[in-house]
A and B are shown apart, each in its own frame.
Chain A
Amino acid sequence: MSLDKKSVKKVASLARIRMNDDELELISPKLANIIGFIEQLAEVNTDNVEPLANVVDITPDLRADIVNDGNCEDKVLANAPEETQGYFVVPNAIEEKK
């Protein structure tokens, strides 16, 4: 298992968590330790075993496609950092064309 500082830096960037060199230095051995621990799964024979995603045998019900709420603009916007005329005001989250 190679979970060096460089790969940890890549994972941090994929996870959108900023980490400086000192933090990377600190977290890398801990992550490597955990990954080392979970690697014991490799020794289990799982030939012909289907992955288990949901433990309970429930087929979700489909609900009728009808509007069942609405008219709650105030509630929707209550936690907005800023709002105007019924809209969230947020930083530009769509990248501009280069």
Chain B
Amino acid sequence: MTKLTNLTISEALKGLENKDFTAVELTQAHIDVMAQHKGLNAFITETPELALEQAKSSDKRRSERNAGALDGIPLAIKDLFCTNNVQTTAASRILDGFIPKYESTVTQKLFDDGIVMLGKTNLDEFAMGSSNTTSYYGNVINPWKRNNDDTELTPGGSSGGSAAAVAAQLCMGATGTDTGGSIRQPAAFCGISGIKPTYGRCSRWGTIAFASSLDQAGTFARNVKDSALLLQSMAGYDAKDSTSANKVVPDFAAALTGDIKGKVIGIPKEYRIDGTPKEIIDLWEKGIEWLKAAGAEIIEVSLPHTKYALATYYVIAPAEASSNLARYDGVKFGYRADEGNLTDMYELTRAQGFGEEVKRRIMIGTYALSSGYYDAYYIKAQKVRRLISQDFMNVFEKCDALLTPTAPSAAFAIGENEDDPIKMYLNDVFTVPASLAGLPAMSVPAGLDKQGLPLGLHIIGKPWDEETVLKVSGVIEDSAQFKNTPKIIKKD
């Protein structure tokens, strides 16, 4: 029999329903694998006892014919979602000892559908990073390795723990959040699927804020269908988030028909960036051929303000972060440096509680919002953001979705790109524009590079049209037949 941890979510749901195995057995199988791969440092907090308790209740519900849509499926939760009575850290020292007394809307919805939580996954501190090397709880290690080379690679970031956990089969799927690429880039680096829905599709309530106008929850899974099932559970209106959309959530899995005949797919010419490795360009070309073969029409389109997206993002995201993170002052909860007068206490709490990258971004944001610079940086960036968003709206009059690479490289070594923040920021060059425009976008694994590392293709859709994003991603998945897994995975 196939190992339980090798199953997809939809296979596991069938197995549970057919009584091939119980939720407790399925959960225990994942807990065992988690114990074997602690070296990946994918989790900040593991919750095996809670998971087994939840699995037991799930088995009971199923025996009473009362099972939810994801009943008994063991998932990992990014440690940016507040979870009732389970420590929530945002990978920051400043939230030391914080145990929420409430549940984020996204995790509540998953629990309402019966999921089992295996633990809280590691991430870049406050989701700020592209390599999962800024966590107070240490680096996450990518389960993938280069051919004949033992160098430890980054899983990408910020949702690096979630991506590594899904790729290494420590869990069947995971939640993530994406502000500028924090789901899609790690999904590409770890050879799995990751979708960020339209801004407003999932409630942000109870998700620790980084940049509120950009943050959006999404999913990691080992195929497109599982991604659709998870997103189905997480999405939907929530009165507790004023930016949550009061729109009907379509049946995402039903969109996976494989039929893209007559769909028009745009190829943005500005994404042909100098210095992108040939293998990535070649894979992009292959993607174009796959979609053509499936009956789509391919057109070249222009998004003229693309080259300004990163600069725009690195004003807006830090500005919002500096404002959001002002609440961490050591007074009412979390870490406190108890010394000196009030100003000393504030300044030392924040100096000791935040890591370097977070401090850098708070300071960039503070500078961009400070008097004399507000118009030149912040308002200017918001204006360019409108132009970037309009670029997308213009091309979506002619096409249904866009196809691009997900990231400009495969997973890099831990420690690489650390010297120069701009070099690190360039990782998000293909993902940031869709974030600025609030668009749904997905990364699907599409091939290996010559070092044996996975590469992803990136599908961007119209606002609220996750269905086309999933449908096109499904066609890429079927064509690519990407079946590779990291070597550490045992098949039987």
Contact = CB atoms under 8 A, between A and B. Distances in A.
B331 to A, nearest CB: 5
Contacts of B333: 79-81
A87 B360 CA distance: 35
A2 to B, nearest CB: 12
Interface in B323-351: 326, 329, 331-334, 336, 338, 342-348, 350-351
Most buried by B among A18, A46, A61: A18
A91 B389 CA distance: 46
Nearest to B338: A91
B291 interface: no
A15 B362 contact: yes
Contacts of B370: 11, 14
Interface in A65-98: 72, 74-76, 78-81, 88, 90-93, 95
Interface stretch (B98-106, B181-189, B223-231, B272-280): B98-106
B360 A27 contact: yes
Given A44-B384, A81-B336, A91 B331 contact: yes
B396 interface: no
A89 to B, nearest CB: 10
Nearest to B237: A61
Given A8-B363, A15-B362, A42-B380, A34 B387 contact: no
Interface string A36-69: 0111111010100111111110101101000000
The secondary structure that dominates the B interface is: helix
Nearest to B359: A17
B490 interface: no
A94 B336 CA distance: 17
B367 A35 contact: yes
Contacts of A52: 382-383, 385-386, 389
A83 to B, nearest CB: 10
B406 interface: no
Contacts of A40: 308, 311
B209 interface: no
Given A34-B422, A41-B315, A46 B367 contact: no
A31 B377 CA distance: 14
B485 interface: no
A91 B376 CA distance: 38
Nearest to A16: B346
A55 B213 contact: yes
Interface in B367-412: 367-368, 370, 376-377, 379-387, 389
B83 interface: no
A36 B342 CA distance: 34
Given A17-B350, A46-B384, A63-B239, A58 B331 contact: no
Contacts of A88: 332
A40 B315 CA distance: 11
A14 B319 CA distance: 13
Contacts of B10: none
Interface in B83-104: 97-99, 101-102
B347 A33 contact: no
Given A17-B354, A37-B422, A49 B366 contact: no
B295 interface: no
B101 A78 contact: yes
**Most chain A beta-carbon neighbours within 10 Å: one of B338, B379, B384, B425:** B384
B380 A41 contact: yes
Nearest to B347: A18
A51 B437 contact: no
A72 to B, nearest CB: 8
Contact of A35 (B198, B364, B385, B425): B364
Contacts of A35: 364, 367
Contacts of B389: 52, 55
Contacts of B338: 91
A61 B239 contact: yes
Contact of A34 (B246, B342, B351, B421): B421
Contact of A56 (B99, B198, B346): B198
5 contacts: A15-B359, A17-B350, A34-B364, A40-B308, A91-B342
Interface of B: 97-99, 101-102, 198-200, 213, 239, 242-246, 305, 308, 310-312, 314-315, 322, 326, 329, 331-334, 336, 338, 342-348, 350-351, 354, 359-360, 362-364, 366-368, 370, 376-377, 379-387, 389, 420-422, 425, 436-438, 463
6 tightest A-B CB contacts, nearest first? A55-B438, A51-B382, A18-B347, A75-B101, A52-B386, A46-B383
